[in-house]
Chains A and B, each alone.
Chain A
Amino acid sequence: DAGVIQSPRHEVTEMGQEVTLRCKPISGHDYLFWYRQTMMRGLELLIYFNNNVPIDDSGMPEDRFSAKMPNASFSTLKIQPSEPRDSAVYFCASSPPRGVDNEQFFGPGTRLTVL
């Protein structure tokens, strides 16, 4: 079974450009999480969805960031306009319907560099 799929794996763009990151969660998982990882701040939760509905976006740093989940198998994280301080690795993770255990399954990440 395929794991969480993210694309692109690497993105280099110039300041001011729009960036769209994509994620396909594991089939049957109803939670989807977007994280950002930097050396300074570690792994930060940006937003998460349950059954395609955004539940908590308090981690989204600014209005320049937006996320959507139009269906159970696809989500996007968009940054418009991008800035150099947005450079980081962005991870998508999914987890199955909640029981007692709730491990998260991470994608390989998208390394974003904004020049």
Chain B
Amino acid sequence: SQQGEEDPQALSIQEGENATMNCSYKTSINNLQWYRQNSGRGLVHLILIRSNEREKHSGRLRVTLDTSKKSSSLLITASRAADTASYFCAIMNSGYSTLTFGKGTMLLVSP
């Protein structure tokens, strides 16, 4: 089934720096969602972008979607140690009711 692929698999930065994670997919989508997972916890929804949207903001998060390239990016600005987590993109395919998750990007933010 369709699965988003995140890039990079792991990212290590210093506090205050920006973190950019990318997601690529292969088929048409209804929407694309980003989730965060702290170690040992469940996933938490961060932001959703619909197929007819190109950019969305939520606090320090900025998501872009390029349907022609079948890709999305998640930018976290002014990162904090508390942003350390795994980040997953999830694809809602057109005509389906379920999400397909990628394998995630592990982000480490050092103080």
Contact = CB atoms under 8 A, between A and B. Distances in A.
Interface in B1-56: 31, 33, 35, 41-45, 48, 50
A55 B42 CA distance: 23
A104 B104 contact: no
B101 A109 contact: no
Contacts, number: 45
A100 B100 CA distance: 17
Nearest to A111: B40
B98 A105 contact: no
Interface string A31-46: 1010000000011010
Q: Report the interface size class on chain A.
A: 20 to 34
Given A55-B97, A56-B98, A108 B88 contact: no
Contacts of A4: 42
Nearest to A58: B1
B101 A42 contact: yes
A26 B109 CA distance: 32
Contacts of A107: 42
Nearest to A6: B42
A55 B88 CA distance: 24
Interface of B (DSSP majority class): strand
Interface residues of B, number: 20
Contacts of A31: 97
B44 A106 contact: yes
Q: Report which residue of A4, A45, A55, A102 has the largest number of chain B beta carbons within 10 angstroms of its beta carbon.
A: A102
A24 to B, nearest CB: 14
Nearest to A107: B42
Nearest to A98: B97
Interface in A71-110: 91, 93, 98, 100-109
Contacts of B104: 42
List the 10 shortest-distance A-B pairs measured between CB atoms, nearest first: A106-B42, A103-B45, A42-B103, A43-B101, A106-B43, A108-B42, A109-B42, A107-B42, A101-B48, A45-B98
Interface of B: 31, 33, 35, 41-45, 48, 50, 88, 92, 97-104
